[in-house]
Amino acid sequence: MNYQKFIISMLLAFAVAFAVSCDEGKPKTSDSVLIPVEDFFKNPEKSSYQISPDGKYFSFKAPYQSRMNIFVQEIGKDSAVRLTSETERNVSGYFWANNNRILFLKDTGGDENFQLYGVDIDGSNLKGLTVFPKVRTQIIDNLEDIENEVIIGLNKRNPQVFDPYRLNIVTGEMSQLAENPGNIQGWMTDHDGKLRVALAMDIVDQILLYREKENDEFKPILVTSFKESLSPMFFTFDNKHLYASSNLGRDKSALVKFDPATGKEMEVLYENSDYDIGNASYSRARKVLEAVSWTGHQYTGRHYFDNEYKAMREKLESKLSGYQVSIASATKDETRMIIRTYTDKSLGAYYYYDSNTDELKKIADISPWLNENEMNAINCVSYNTRDGLKIEAYLTLPKGYTMETAKNLPVVVNVHGGPWARDTWGFNSEVQFLASRGYAVFQLNFRGSTGFGKKFWESSFKQWGLSMQDDITDGVNWLIEKGIADPKCVAIYGGSYGGYATLAGLTLTPDLYACGVDYVGVSNLFTFMKTIPPYWKPMLDMLYEMVGDPVADSLQLAKTSPALNADKIKAPLFIAQGANDPRVNKAESDQMVEALKKRNIKVEYMVKDNEGHGFHNEENQFDFYHAMEKFLAEHLKPQNK
């Protein structure tokens, strides 16, 4: 873990978009039958496939009473056993702890206080392992080579910090491995499951701590500003050195080998001139570094270190030509695996692959009711901001249009959340829904979006409502100048930070948008930083540097807090909020609605009492998307053509 990645995860990046056509630029799909809203947003038929460590079983998530639950199926047989019976919330995530037991996480009503449960693969011995009120569970190490144990983090002792525990997944017995002194934000183990690395924060400095043996004291070996980052990924196979992502002394993060004994980088293994590196993969069975990947404008790029892994991937890509290929899960000996495919027009499918026999067999399509031939391609585009930054973006056009023929279209500007996250090329249900209704959808990686280097990231600091918002405005004007967008038929929509950007767009550029939709968005930068979850509080000084200090920067924050500038809004607004949201408190939406109603500005407000930061329950998503569609049908219209 590193602090850039911590901040990236702080605000969940929701990307939802909607629109309905204006009279001019009317879509060429008017005679076709519209795909129902539910088809885009209902639960997958089957998803999240994994294979057991011994390769005898598949597991997957599938709907049970409209909630995603866990099923297990013996390979070669047709019937599956349902292991869980959750009816309030979807199972959040799960993994195989050993050949006989699966662990899964769930929260309550979207509060994000995830609790860990275990269940045997025949559905027996279901046990809550970390069922503590208002306590969040982290998975530190699933201890693949230790049959009945995992290492977890809990903020049970102190809600602001996580202590590491060794947990017996059968009995539920726990032993605390260390006590967090109050500044440690992440823990890491070696290949033997020994707790050897910790990452701490001292105001705005990142501290890497290390110990040679598990009974030694942690000692600091590297101190950097949070603006720089050396993020350990995993140990070398002799457990002496670290593979890490580092942007120390460089703009783009690179894959390096790091010596914890000296606190120095030993060598740079790979760096890309355009993008930060992402994940590195290794073979646990063969003990070799396999590859490192990065997210480009369109495809995921890879640099290979291991020829056997490269040959296997190239063989799969040849067999599944035309699709992006990822390895979702593998057996302990890595000979059998679950393969996932996708494109910009398809959620894809899962396959079973046996490398011993070269057998590749489709298991399931994720959303078989969606025909990829009826979906719309995502075009990779770019534009320059007023101060010369290049912004990579995505433009999805409705059926019947090309980049050459797209003229005077209604557009929904879909701003991603985070804000320290990014949009990527791939299937997006909301984007496809909009395009099916005849709308162009514009997604953009404004400054601060991740993966483009340190300088691009830092250029967003204290720029909420300022240059970050200018990047969005410049993108809209680029579409208008190109003749693609009808200047009177542009809507802005986003969730989390994207919700803030929606509100900021309506207050700072009130004549640019015909309407807006704010989904769990920040409205007041002062109150937002007072209501963050307790485990964010150790990072508050860093947040002040990145967003703004409520005291030192009070004039700026007042100027860029939409709730304090609601009198500038002219366009109709729709706001959606989860009552249990721990990240963007419901009060953020409440005060915005109240401020608009006082000024007789039209605002629609949807609150779901059993949701948190974004709607996850199927029926709530249906309500939200239907309401969005109706709202935009009413307000995204030409004005005095």
Nearest CA to 604 out of 631, 635, 566 is that of 631
Do 102 and 629 contact (CB within 8 A), yes or no? no
In the three-class reduction of DSSP (H, G, I as helix; E, B as strand; rest coil), residue 502 is classed as helix
pLDDT at site 539: 86
Nearest CA to 99 out of 332, 355, 312 is that of 332
Count H helices and E strands in the chain, helices first: 12, 35
Entry pTM: 0.92
Domains and CATH numbers, the chain: 7-26+380-635 (3.40.50.1820), 46-178 (2.120.10.30)
Write out the catalytic residue numbers.
496, 581, 613
pLDDT at site 12: 31
> Which whole-number Å values give the CA distances from 205 to 80, 222, 510, 539, in the listed order?
50, 10, 39, 10
Residue type, 130: T
* Cα–Cα distance for residue pair 499/506, rounded to 1 Å: 11
pLDDT one-digit tens code per residue, 116-139: 999 999 999 999 999 999 999 999
**Which tokens in the block code for residue 502?**
């929606």
User: Cis omega before residue 419 (within 30°)?
Assistant: yes
The owner of tokens 């045997």 is 120
Q: Residue 584: how many CB atoms within 10 A of its CB?
A: 29
Task: Tell me the sheet residues that pair with 62.
Answer: 69
pLDDT one-digit tens code per residue, 226-269: 999 999 999 999 999 999 999 999 999 999 999 999 999 999 99
**Which tokens in the block code for residue 32?**
């076709």
pLDDT at site 555: 97
The distance between the two most distant Cα atoms of the chain, rounded to a whole number of Å, is: 75
Where in 331-389 does DSSP place strands (E)? 336-342, 349-354, 359-365, 378-384
Residue type, 605: Y
Do 356 and 341 contact (CB within 8 A), yes or no? no
pLDDT at site 25: 42
* Cα–Cα distance for residue pair 623/421, rounded to 1 Å: 27
* Cα–Cα distance for residue pair 436/431, rounded to 1 Å: 9
Do 102 and 83 contact (CB within 8 A), yes or no? yes
- Classify residue 442 as exposed, middle or buried by CB count within 10 Å of its CB (0-12, 13-18, 19+): buried
* Cα–Cα distance for residue pair 289/328, rounded to 1 Å: 18
Long-range contacts of 57-64 (CB under 8 A, 24+ apart): 57/121, 58/338, 58/352, 58/363, 59/94, 59/96, 59/102, 59/121, 60/350, 60/364, 61/90, 61/91, 61/94, 63/618
pLDDT one-digit tens code per residue, 434-458: 999 888 999 999 999 999 999 999 9
**Which tokens in the block code for residue 441?**
């959808």
pLDDT at site 36: 96
pLDDT at site 16: 31
Nearest CA to 99 out of 128, 129, 84, 120 is that of 120
Nearest CA to 29 out of 434, 358, 307 is that of 434
Q: Residue 466: how many CB atoms within 10 A of its CB?
A: 16
Do 165 and 140 contact (CB within 8 A), yes or no? no
The pLDDT averaged over each successive group of 10 residues in the chain (641 residues) is 38 31 41 85 96 97 96 95 96 96 95 96 96 96 94 95 96 94 94 96 92 94 94 97 97 98 96 97 97 96 97 97 96 97 96 96 96 96 98 96 95 96 96 92 98 97 98 98 97 97 98 96 94 85 94 97 95 95 92 92 93 94 96 71 32
Do 254 and 274 contact (CB within 8 A), yes or no? no
Rg (CA), the chain: 25
pLDDT one-digit tens code per residue, 357-379: 999 999 999 999 999 999 999 99
* Cα–Cα distance for residue pair 284/286, rounded to 1 Å: 6
Number of residues that this document lists for the chain: 641
**Which tokens in the block code for residue 368?**
């078989």
pLDDT one-digit tens code per residue, 484-515: 999 999 999 999 999 999 999 999 999 999 99
pLDDT at site 368: 95
Do 376 and 46 contact (CB within 8 A), yes or no? no
